[in-house]
Amino acid sequence: MTIFKKMAKKALFLGLLLMSASSIIANAQTAGLGTWPTQKPIRLIAVFPPGGSVDQVARTLAPALQAELKQNVIVENIGGASGVIGTAAMTRSDPDGYTFAVVFDTHGVNPSLKDKLPYDTIKDIAPVTLIGTSPMVLVASKKSGITSFKQLVDQSKAGKQFSYGSIGIGSLGHLAMARLAKQAGFDWNHIPYRGGGPLMQDVLGGQVPLAVGSEFLVKPHIDSGGVIPLVITTAKRSPALPNVPTISESGFPGFNAPAWWAVLAPGKTPPVIVNAMNQAVTKALKTPAVAEKLKAQGIEIVAGNPETLRDFIGKQIAVWGKFVIENNIRETQ
């Protein structure tokens, strides 16, 4: 192929990309919404309190998303009920492309855990983008006296009861530890928190001896020496914590429970807006400032189209919903 043919081929490819972007904008205009998103700032609801991983992921993403969309992106924390309150606020918002939510893995558990959600997880929500997945890490307070997972297992098998905190009943951290305890025959006491910020404050202060949270949440405290990492929940070790063993290689083969984050929209948001936001989030995730920070905190970026996220959430609901029902896990626990 001559250099001229290569240049022509490249020009054609770039032209098609520009036509695709123009088509998205034109379709948004046709939908009667004007040139999205120029009408007003975009509201990005973080469905957990400040200080947790959802809050941090949303605030890491917002500046790059703002640059990509050329519109202000405002992060608003609406925490409570394992992400339900913030998600409900998102579903009640106008489906005009100006309200989205960043949710956590609890989103895939809540339909089975809650007796009645204030929204339909399928009909009232439009999947946008799967941001990424990450190991969860079981950490020990420096005041607990626990320095290794083997020590914890040995003492648990000897009959000692330990308490551990998670970001809430039915969170993936809670379910992962409940599965481990059941598999091993441990008798552990679960302490639910309203979010990662309050959880880490208490484990750092020694009010709770153990905590399980996403690597994104706990790694800064591991790096500072505030907590001791014991084990991670994914099948493979994390590049960000190469010396921390997996549960699977620590006597419980096949154990795998990753944390995840996603962007959602109100269910009736026009598909053209959902797809445009999907592309904007995907591009924002690829910017060095976002990609490097998420990678440093153990998040493996996934992105993908809305259907990828829809399928992923469906599988999460099926797997963990079954565990919740089979083990009679209730919000009062």
Q: Residue 284: how many CB atoms within 10 A of its CB?
A: 25
Q: How many residues does the chain have?
A: 333
Cα gap 29→129, rounded to integer Å? 22
Average pLDDT over residues 74-100: 96
Q: What is the pLDDT of residues 28-75, one digit of tens each?
A: 444 444 579 988 999 999 999 998 889 999 999 999 999 999 999 999
* Residues in CB range of 233: below 8 A, 6 or more apart: 135, 136, 137, 138, 176, 212, 246, 247, 255, 256, 257, 258, 259
Residue % of the chain over a pLDDT of 90: 74
pLDDT for the residue numbered 6 = 46
Determine the 3-state secondary structure of 39 from DSSP.
coil
Whether the CB-CB separation of 188 and 161 falls below 8 Å is answered with: yes
pLDDT for the residue numbered 232 = 97
Q: Between these two residues, 156 and 194, which has the higher pLDDT value? A: 156
The answer on pLDDT for 224 being more than 60 is: yes
3-state secondary structure string, 90-135? HHHCCCCCCEEEEEEHHHHCHHHHCCCCCCCCCCCEEEEEEEEEEC
pLDDT bracket for residue 9 (50, 70, 90): low
Half-sphere exposure of 312 (CA within 13 A, CB side): 24
**Helix extents (H) in the chain:** 3-30, 53-69, 84-92, 110-113, 149-157, 172-184, 196-205, 215-223, 271-286, 288-296, 306-326
Average pLDDT over residues 136-147: 97
pLDDT bracket for residue 332 (50, 70, 90): low
Q: Mean pLDDT over all residues of the chain?
A: 89
pLDDT bracket for residue 328 (50, 70, 90): confident
pLDDT for the residue numbered 255 = 93
pLDDT for the residue numbered 168 = 85
Average pLDDT over residues 141-153: 96
Cα gap 197→211, rounded to integer Å? 12
Average pLDDT over residues 107-126: 92
Residue % of the chain over a pLDDT of 70: 89
Which pairing describes strands 99-104 and 125-134: parallel, antiparallel, or unpaired?
Answer: unpaired
pLDDT bracket for residue 17 (50, 70, 90): very low
Cα gap 241→226, rounded to integer Å? 15
Q: Between these two residues, 99 and 328, which has the higher pLDDT value? A: 99
The answer on pLDDT for 24 being more than 80 is: no
* Residues in CB range of 156: below 8 A, 6 or more apart: 162, 184, 186, 187, 188
pLDDT for the residue numbered 34 = 59
Whether the CB-CB separation of 52 and 196 falls below 8 Å is answered with: yes
Q: Between these two residues, 294 and 9, which has the higher pLDDT value? A: 294
